[in-house]
Structure 1
Amino acid sequence: MKKGEFDGKVVLITGAASGLGRAASVRFAREGARVCLADINSAGLDETARIIANAGGRCTQYAGDLGQPSSCTDAVRTAIGSFGRLDVLCNVAGILRFHALADVTAEDWQMLFAANVTAPFFMTQAAMPHLVAASGNVINVASTAAFIGQSYTAPYAATKAALLSLTKSLAMEFIKSPVRINAIAPGGMMTEMVQGLVFPEGADTDMILRYCGFRPPNTPEDIVEPMIFLASDRARAVHGACYTADNGITAG
């Protein structure tokens, strides 16, 4: 593998078994990083690891439910145990569900917050001492749902707004340290996460079209490019920011 921008660095990526997490893992490896893959889907992790190995990259993996704080600690321990340091944490893993208000159960609410808020929080908590030591950084994957109201996604949107606030609050808490903490907010993106999802019965199509945008959905690779920038030393002035990559959905 050719020398890359992340040679000598270690990147931990959640949601690495598929979609954006897999695309980011492969790209960071191609840029020279040693990558720790984390996800609940062990078979998907094996496939991502195979792709990286075939490209000449190095990785380790951790399979567990990151909605459990102890699993977050174990994932970070895996990265440190395998590679001795941690430079970048990418909190990519997440869950999307469409619900009408009346259909949301307590289990739905708790599942979404566990995956989309609890996991990034405790991953960051576990990783932070190592990131500060390495002058590293965190990238949280938010969503345009953090900025605009989107019908039938109220619990999901609430988690992404919470994640954005978490990003900014932690950025201020660590403003005097060398670490950087940022977010990226994709719009529609064709990944395994959205395949098979259905809108509630009787959903108003006009309400859905309001946040679909005029341009085609992004591919994961479209979003990886700004992630690479945010994680790199080229973005040394970027802290507490949210990079919106949504094909203009939130522009007007």
Structure 2
Amino acid sequence: MTRILLCGCNGKMGRVIAACVKEREDCKIVAGIDIRTDPFGDFPVYASPSEVQEEADVVIDFSHPALLSPLLQFGLEHKLPLVLCTTGYNHDQVNALKQASHKIPVFYSGNMSLGINLLIGLSKKAAQVLGEDFDIEIIEKHHNQKIDAPSGTALMIADAISSVEDRQMTYMYDRHSQRKKRDKNEIGLHSVRGGTIVGEHEVIFAGPHEVITLSHSAQSKEIFANGSINAAVFLAKQPAGLYDMSDLLK
């Protein structure tokens, strides 16, 4: 039985994760962390990691980038694996979690969906096959409560495509202030925020006289919840290191 400490438990994703865990027999939530400490389930909720008293095997974090530093400190002090699902980390924060992974297991992914990770693989293959004649644009759509833009997933896709390109790719987030032709080495990233869109990502390869589009549409937050839970059960048994969805899918 994997004992989970759920960070961001009173948020939308936290509540979905808690509901999904209840349907499983291989794990349970022993405590939660949230700025709102009102308990809604059968586990206590604390305002910070340092207040947690229960023994856990792994942490799932769906909270806010501002909590990363105390969470890393908590994980290092207690030798506790961390599943980091929060998006919007800056460069220094990414480096910090990578450093922590030398001492504890850290699972870091901007998207916990199996389908999205398949989309990433297909996008890499398309970039390799199509080459420089095709311009690449990424469009992501999310609900009107999402704070960061572009989404962590859109950046994951762009980074994956860049990793297989022989040329140095640059990311173009906004074109309205520039009056010039599109550069061949650009990857355009565009964000849409509205309504209750769970998450949609579209990768466009626009070439001479043809367009190829790869897309993924999330219908429910449960796909991300179950992905994070599977990652937690997996990570609780792993040695120190940096892990992502590719390790879970092996």
TM-score range, shorter chain: 0.3 to 0.5
Greater relative contact order: 1 or 2 (C-alpha under 8 angstroms, separation 6 or more)? 2
Structure having the higher Rg: 2
Q: Which structure dedicates a bigger proportion of its chain to helix?
A: 1
TM, length-normalised to structure 1: 0.42
TM, length-normalised to structure 2: 0.42
